[in-house]
């Protein structure tokens, strides 16, 4: 009987001990769970009131801090010394901001301004005698992605609604500017592109690079394969090793519409008579930048009757390009000025004999007008012969990856 009683007491003690230990572990677990901090921008906001909004229009940072109740000395200390973190002249209305306040009396503790999708500036104003401000960065995931698109109306529309679609469209138009006529795209043209993007919280925020691509235009494939060029820099080359860059751009401006083509008999919209139109009209808003199609020297700049404000550029091999009806000229453009390919030489306007804003663009070779839309531009330097085996190996692997991208 004594032995049974002793066993019973030992068992009871074990049960009570286990219960006590389990209960203590549960309580400790609850304490740990309760003490787990809530972080935002790396700040523990567990005991703070967090207000998210956007930077207001027509307000300075100084005004925002004054309205938040910060003393004048603190505000002046911030605005006079924060240039290393945030250029207050470049603050944009609409960018996300976050204020963090005490829950008891709504005193500002932190102010956060998002400079872009990745960078943000933090102002720590908890201590009026030691204001701190610094720049920080959101964790960024880098990922390679692949994309197929088909043209129904324009490159822009083909990428509308896709992550980074507008940026990819701009980059592709830059890469293929010498080989693809983006004002003459046809329904059924298509492209494949491999690119690297940056993501924050799983959302695409930045296009890091176009890695390689192919653009099928009017039944012909144009490739962009990265390889070392003649100057030691990475450039894009076509499948046969010719440079994707050419002596002349396909067009002197971006994202416009061809309103009138090259013809020997066109009824003039102002004079109402039939006469030749040895150029291409690009309809575009006033102020659209106009670029030199190639390196050259300005041989004429000024008002020229029906042509309005005009710039003429002489290029190598006896080519001359002409840009008419400009609203104004590019910075530093004068007769005798040397210009480089892609440099802004003027802006679309409607000067001279014109019924609306457009660019009348013309090209002459040995003094004779030629159709800009049909001109074949000579390429820049190709891949060096001693590097062709290396290029061909890279080309084969790139083409294989592009071919494997599904078309649906």
Residues 85/135, Cβ–Cβ less than 8 Å: yes
List of E strands, 19-150: 39-40, 43-44, 48-54, 96-102, 108-114, 119-124, 132-137, 141-150
What pLDDT digit, counting tens, does each position of 328-381 carry?
A: 999 999 999 999 889 999 999 999 988 889 899 999 988 888 888 877 776 678
Tell me which residue of 312, 306, 310 sits closest to 354, measured CA to CA. 306
For residue 229, report the phi and psi dihedrals to the nearest 5 degrees: -90, -170
The CA-based angle 240-241-247, given to 5 degrees, is 110
- Copy the structure tokens of residue 135: 């720049």
Please, are residues 304 and 328 in contact by the beta-carbon 8 Å criterion? no
User: What are the tens digits of pLDDT across the range 340-352?
Assistant: 889 999 999 999 9
How far apart CA 247 and CA 239 sit, in angstroms, is: 18
Which residues fall within 8 angstroms of residue 233, CB to CB, at 6 or more apart?
Answer: none
**All structural domains of the chain:** 39-137 (3.10.450.350), 141-237 (3.10.450.350), 257-370 (2.70.70.10)
Q: What are 138's two structure tokens? A: 């959101």
Q: Let me know: does 197 contact 208? Beta carbons within 8 Å.
A: yes
116-169 tens-digit pLDDT: 999 999 999 998 888 899 999 999 999 999 999 999 988 999 998 888 999 999
The pLDDT tens digits for 38-79 are: 889 999 999 999 999 999 998 999 999 999 999 988 888 888
Which of helix, strand or coil describes residue 294? Answer: coil
């Amino acid at each position: 009987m004594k032995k049974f009683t002793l066993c019973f007491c030992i068992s009871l003690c074990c049960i009570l001990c286990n219960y006590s230990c389990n209960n203590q572990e549960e309580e400790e677990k609850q304490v740990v769970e309760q003490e787990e901090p809530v972080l935002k921008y790396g700040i523990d906001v567990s005991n703070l009131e967090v207000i998210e909004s956007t930077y207001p229009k027509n307000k300075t940072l100084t005004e925002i801090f004054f309205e938040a109740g910060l003393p004048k000395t603190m505000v002046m200390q911030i605005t006079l010394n924060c240039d290393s973190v945030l250029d207050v002249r470049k603050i944009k209305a609409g960018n996300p901001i976050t204020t963090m306040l005490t829950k008891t009396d709504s005193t500002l503790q932190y102010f956060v301004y998002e400079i872009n999708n990745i960078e943000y500036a933090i102002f720590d104003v908890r201590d009026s005698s030691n204001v701190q401000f610094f720049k920080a960065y959101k964790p960024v995931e880098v990922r390679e992605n692949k994309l197929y698109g088909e043209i129904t109306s324009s490159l822009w529309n083909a990428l509308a609604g896709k992550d980074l679609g507008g940026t990819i469209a701009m980059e592709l138009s830059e890469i293929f500017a010498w080989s693809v006529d983006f004002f003459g795209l046809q329904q059924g043209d298509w492209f494949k592109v491999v690119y690297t993007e940056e993501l924050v919280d799983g959302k695409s925020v930045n296009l890091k690079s176009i890695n390689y691509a192919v653009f099928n235009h009017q039944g012909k494939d144009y490739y962009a394969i990265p390889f070392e060029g003649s100057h030691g820099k990475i450039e894009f080359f076509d499948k046969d090793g010719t440079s994707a860059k050419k002596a002349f751009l396909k067009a002197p401006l971006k994202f416009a519409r061809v309103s009138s083509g090259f013809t020997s008999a066109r009824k003039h919209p102002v004079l109402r008579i039939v006469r030749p139109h040895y150029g291409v009209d690009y309809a575009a808003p006033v102020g659209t930048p106009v670029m030199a199609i190639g390196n050259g020297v300005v041989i004429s700049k000024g008002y020229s009757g029906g042509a309005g404000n005009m710039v003429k550029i002489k290029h190598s091999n006896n080519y001359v390009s002409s840009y008419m009806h400009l609203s104004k000229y590019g910075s530093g453009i004068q007769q005798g000025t040397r210009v480089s390919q892609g440099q802004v030489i003027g802006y679309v306007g409607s000067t001279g004999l014109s019924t609306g804003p457009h660019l009348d663009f013309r090209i002459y070779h040995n003094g004779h007008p030629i159709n800009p839309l049909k001109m074949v531009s000579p390429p820049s330097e190709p891949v060096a012969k001693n590097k062709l085996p290396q290029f061909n190996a890279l080309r084969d692997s790139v083409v294989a990856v592009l071919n494997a991208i599904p078309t649906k």
